[in-house]
């Protein structure tokens, strides 16, 4: 197996008496696409919130590139190279499409505010770079987000384009690991197919490692190197899609004990 | 820019077609072509000419007031318009700047720093105070931050009122820090690199230069990583944080910059007034600054300046009954033009109002001559009005009060009615409004001023809820 980029060691998190993540071990290797599946409430999004630093685990370690990231502020973790999208879209709706991506470059730019206010040559140069970067990231999605759309407010985008912009914004932070939280939610079959292809391109062309939460099994089947199934915060199965999808515990978690025993 | 509710296809279509239509379209297109830079310089040119166009010291003083408001609104725009933090303690920074300047340039503490040193000291101290009072914004947002910061504003006034007898362990005499309710008089005039600022006019130019510099700086800052960081944290702090933006640090920066600008403005206010008093920095002023920013359009630099002009200048224009009358009838006509359409219907209403007035005037003069015998106090187009509006010879006040109540009832009815019935009621309502105005309101300019000012603000905000120069925003669904 390749060198792990992200590693969770026996991570637990509970809210009050509710144990959301229970001694979870997980590794994601460089260049892998790993899917996390599980019924609603299994702790998938909590897992993302732990990795990105929104929550701190009660116990356990989270290592990124071999370095512990528990307790770091979320923006520092993001700067290290972990970017994510949100299941419920959280775009900067009143900013333009381009500004949404440009805003994500904050961590990798260094102009101080007085330099910006005086518009020094250095600040101008950096601003040009950021501008080019944003256009390049938006161009990744074909013609959908470029052209006249770049200068329009994000709220004017359609639902599917908002999902695409979320991914474009996440890539604006220059990440190594992309956490995609249900990128195909609410999309029609054509768009779902398109997003599956796109996730593949994100790895081959963008060079990102991808950890994915997805309910649509077509997407999961199509692109995952490895699938991890969660239920009640516990890892119940791990391996190739075929193995996990036929695992009795996974079938039980989704459909109930009777279906799993074949009755 | 697409409007809220228009979908992609429509907005794409809009870009292909002309955005402006109608008679004013060429002018508006030309205005857009000119661009923000030249427009701003043209505006500055007009502002720079203003003191030369008038001899009246009062008008220049109003100009100084406008500039003070503009600077305050620009500072508040950083905190409220961009960073989205509801800071109700803003006026405390203004007051702090003024008192700070007073301490370092008056006999109060017997310190007289040169102005070139005093201003940086005041600005730095204000920014530091901004950092400190911005700390609650790390944990509190929205309403909770608002009440906490409002508390800071109140503390400031209380401190200014009560720090006139401070007992210090190493002094026998209590120290008089703020002069209590009497404030600190006798503040030094400013003297910048040998340039003595004595006249109100000098301060006007100082303020104009500062306003121009700060507005340009903020314009650049808005379109930079800092500005984007502020706006992103306003839109969605969690998403901004996860997109590498240090939200808490940017919140403090916004507070500090707002406070620095407010402190700078305060120091100039102190110098131009040559004294500071606690009642200069009360919550009423805070509301006026907010009114300027929201009226102009929070988040917009030109909006903040325009809002300041409206809020600071309109009450002064209304001071003279003649001007007030122009504004009153002007506003009435503007509302009619805006709401009654098409123009044929408008013409019918206008004609009906004139005929209705003449008929009522004639009828009353015939039946009860006393009722139409009075005369208006004169002024603009008084002669025309005298034969149209009823002005009773006596009991003007009582009749005016009765009419006022009737007017309120009529306006309420107007909001309930629809279609032709509304149009029928509109005619007597307008006449009633004119009657109330001429008999009751014009007699008491101080009250009228407030009423009319409030009405103008309400009308403007109804017409453009996003502010005069603001862009409409959507609320985040989260």
pLDDT (tens digit per residue) in B186-219: 999 999 888 888 889 999 999 999 999 999 999 9
B440: CB partners within 8 A, 6+ apart: B396, B397, B400, B401, B403, B404
Residue A240 φ then ψ, to 5°: -70, 160
In angstroms, the separation between the Cα of residue B346 and the nearest Cα of chain A is 36
Q: Kindly provide the b/e burial profile for residues B46-74, where b requires at least 16 CB atoms within 10 angstroms of the residue's own CB.
A: ebeebbeeeeeeebbbbbbbbbbbbbbbb
**Best interface-test mutation with A: which of B17, B131, B220, B225 has the largest number of A CBs within 10 A?**
B225
Domain for residue B459, yes or no? no
Same domain, B264 and B408: no
- Where residue B133 falls among pLDDT bands split at 50, 70, 90? very high
Window A:19-38, CB contacts with B under 8 Å: none
Same domain, B199 and B51: yes
Burial tier of B228 (Cβ tally within 10 Å: 0-12, 13-18, 19+): buried
Closest CA in chain B for residue A48: B242
Same domain, B165 and B280: yes
Residue A76's nearest CA partner among A108, A47, A45 is: A108
Domain for residue B2, yes or no? no
Mean pLDDT of chain B: 88
Domain for residue B251, yes or no? yes
Supply the pTM of this predicted model. 0.88
Percent of chain B with pLDDT over 90: 54
Rounded to an integer, the average pLDDT of A126-153 is 92
- Where residue B26 falls among pLDDT bands split at 50, 70, 90? confident
pLDDT (tens digit per residue) in B370-396: 887 777 776 667 777 888 888 888 888
Interchain pair A90, B4: CB under 8 A: no
Domain for residue B469, yes or no? no
Rounded to an integer, the average pLDDT of B413-429 is 87
Same domain, B302 and B338: no
Task: Report the alpha-carbon distance of residue B76 to residue B73 in Å, rounded.
Answer: 5
Domain for residue B424, yes or no? yes
Number of domains in chain B: 2
Chosen domain end from B268, B297, B317: B317
Residue B90's nearest CA partner among B254, B297, B222 is: B254
Q: What's the length of chain B?
A: 478
Same domain, B71 and B171: yes
Burial tier of A16 (Cβ tally within 10 Å: 0-12, 13-18, 19+): exposed
pLDDT (tens digit per residue) in A28-85: 999 999 999 999 889 999 999 999 999 999 999 999 999 999 999 999 999 999 999 9
Same domain, B154 and B224: yes
pLDDT (tens digit per residue) in B292-317: 999 999 999 999 999 999 999 888 88
Residue B290 has what pLDDT?
95
Chosen domain end from B265, B292, B317: B317
Residue A102 has what pLDDT?
97
Evaluate if residue B478 carries a pLDDT over 50.
no
Contacts of B238 in chain A (CB under 8 A): 54, 90
- Where residue B1 falls among pLDDT bands split at 50, 70, 90? very low
Rounded to an integer, the average pLDDT of A133-149 is 91
Chain B interface includes A105 (CB < 8 A): yes
Same domain, B196 and B337: no
Smallest Cβ–Cβ distance between B225 and the set A111, A156, A158 belongs to A111
Contacts of A164 in chain B (CB under 8 A): none
For residue B299, the enclosing domain spans 33-317
Residue B4 has what pLDDT?
53
The token duo for B84 is 């989205």
- Domains contained in chain A, CATH given: 4-81+175-260 (3.40.50.300)
Mean pLDDT of chain A: 92
Percent of chain A with pLDDT over 70: 97
A-B C-beta contacts closer than 8 Å: 130
Q: Report the SS3 class of residue B225.
A: helix
Interchain pair B228, A88: CB under 8 A: no
Domain for residue B169, yes or no? yes
Same domain, B410 and B272: no
pLDDT (tens digit per residue) in A180-189: 999 998 899 9
Task: Report the alpha-carbon distance of residue A184 to residue A195 in Å, rounded.
Answer: 7
Residue A177 has what pLDDT?
96
Same domain, B97 and B220: yes
Same domain, B342 and B221: no
Evaluate if residue B435 carries a pLDDT over 50.
yes
Q: Which of residues B74 and B18 earns the better pLDDT score?
A: B74
Residue A161 has what pLDDT?
93
Same domain, B336 and B217: no
Domain for residue B404, yes or no? yes
Pseudo-torsion of CA B307, B311, B314, B315, nearest 10°?
A: 180
Task: Report the alpha-carbon distance of residue B351 to residue B120 in Å, rounded.
Answer: 62
Q: Report the SS3 class of residue B263.
A: helix
- Where residue B19 falls among pLDDT bands split at 50, 70, 90? low
Domain for residue B149, yes or no? yes
Rounded to an integer, the average pLDDT of A86-110 is 95
Interchain pair A173, B226: CB under 8 A: no
Same domain, B180 and B114: yes
A112: CB partners within 8 A, 6+ apart: none
Rounded to an integer, the average pLDDT of B76-100 is 96
Interchain pair B242, A111: CB under 8 A: no
Chosen domain end from B317, B348, B370: B317
Evaluate if residue B434 carries a pLDDT over 80.
yes
């Amino acid at each position: 197996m390749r060198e792990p980029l992200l590693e969770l060691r026996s991570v637990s998190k509970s809210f009050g008496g509710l144990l959301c993540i229970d001694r979870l071990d997980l590794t994601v290797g460089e260049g892998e696409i790993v899917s996390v599946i599980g019924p609603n409430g299994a702790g998938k999004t909590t897992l993302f919130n732990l990795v990105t630093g929104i929550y701190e685990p009660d116990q356990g370690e989270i290592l990124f590139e071999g370095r512990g990231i528990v307790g770091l502020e979320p923006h520092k973790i993001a700067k290290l190279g972990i970017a994510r999208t949100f299941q419920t879209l959280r775009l900067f709706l009143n900013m333009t499409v381009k500004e949404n991506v440009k805003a994500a470059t904050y961590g990798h730019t260094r102009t101080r505010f007085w330099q910006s206010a005086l518009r020094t040559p250095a600040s101008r140069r950096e601003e040009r770079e950021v501008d080019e970067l944003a256009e390049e990231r938006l161009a990744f999605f074909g013609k959908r987000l470029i052209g006249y759309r770049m200068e329009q407010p994000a709220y004017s985008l359609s639902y599917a384009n908002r999902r695409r912009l979320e991914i474009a914004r996440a890539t604006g932070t220059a990440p190594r690991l992309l956490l995609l939280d249900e990128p195909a939610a609410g999309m029609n079959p054509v768009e779902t197919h398109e997003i599956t292809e796109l996730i593949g391109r994100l790895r081959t062309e963008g060079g990102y490692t991808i950890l994915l939460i997805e309910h649509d099994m077509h997407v999961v089947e199509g692109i995952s190197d490895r699938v991890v199934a969660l239920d009640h915060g516990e890892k119940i199965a791990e391996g190739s899609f075929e193995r996990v999808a036929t695992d009795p515990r996974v079938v039980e978690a989704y459909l109930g004990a009777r279906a799993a025993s074949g009755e | 820019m697409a409007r809220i509710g228009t979908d992609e296809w429509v907005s794409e279509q809009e870009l292909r077609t002309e955005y402006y239509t109608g008679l004013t379209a060429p002018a508006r297109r030309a205005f857009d072509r000119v661009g923000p830079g030249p427009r701003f310089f043209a505006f500055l040119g007009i502002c720079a000419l203003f003191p030369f166009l008038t001899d009246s010291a009062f008008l220049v003083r109003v100009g100084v007031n406008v500039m003070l408001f503009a600077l305050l609104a620009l500072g508040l725009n950083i905190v409220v318009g961009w960073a989205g933090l509801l800071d109700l303690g803003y006026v405390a920074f203004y007051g702090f700047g003024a008192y700070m300047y007073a301490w370092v340039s008056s006999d109060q503490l017997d310190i007289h720093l040169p102005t070139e040193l005093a201003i940086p000291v005041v600005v730095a101290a204000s920014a530091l105070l901004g950092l400190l009072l911005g700390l609650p914004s790390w944990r509190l947002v929205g309403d909770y931050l608002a009440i906490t910061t409002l508390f800071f504003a109140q503390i400031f006034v209380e401190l200014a009122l009560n720090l006139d007898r401070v007992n210090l362990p190493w002094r026998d005499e209590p120290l008089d820090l703020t002069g209590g309710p009497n404030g600190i008089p006798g503040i030094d005039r400013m003297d910048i690199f040998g340039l003595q600022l004595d006249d109100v006019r000098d301060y006007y130019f100082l303020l104009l230069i500062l306003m121009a510099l700060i507005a340009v700086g903020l314009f650049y800052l808005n379109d930079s990583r800092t500005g984007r960081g502020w706006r992103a944290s306003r839109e969605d702090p969690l998403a901004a944080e996860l997109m590498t933006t240090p939200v808490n640090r940017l919140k403090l920066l916004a507070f500090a910059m707002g406070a620095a600008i407010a402190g700078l403005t305060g120091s100039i206010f102190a110098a131009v007034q040559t004294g500071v008093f606690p009642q200069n920095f009360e919550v009423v002023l805070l509301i006026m600054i907010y009114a300027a920013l929201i009226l102009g359009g929070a988040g917009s630099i030109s909006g903040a300046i325009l809002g300041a002009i409206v809020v600071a200048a309109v009450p002064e224009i209304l001071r003279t009954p003649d001007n007030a009358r122009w504004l009153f009838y002007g506003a009435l006509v503007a509302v009619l033009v805006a709401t009654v359409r098409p123009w044929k219907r408008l013409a019918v209403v206008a004609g009906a109002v004139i005929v209705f007035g003449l008929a009522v005037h004639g009828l009353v003069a015939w039946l009860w001559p006393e009722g139409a015998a009075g005369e208006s106090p004169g002024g603009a187009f008084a002669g025309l009005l005298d034969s149209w509006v009823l002005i009773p010879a006596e009991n003007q006040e009582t009749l005016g009060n009765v009419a006022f109540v009737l007017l309120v009832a009529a306006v309420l009815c107007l909001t309930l009615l629809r279609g032709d019935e509304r149009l029928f009621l509109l005619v007597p309502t307008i006449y009633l409004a004119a009657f109330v105005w001429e008999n009751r309101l014009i007699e008491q300019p101080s009250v009228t001023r407030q009423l009319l000012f409030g009405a103008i603000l309400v009308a403007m905000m109804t017409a453009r809820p996003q502010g005069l120069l603001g862009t409409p925003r959507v609320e985040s669904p989260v």
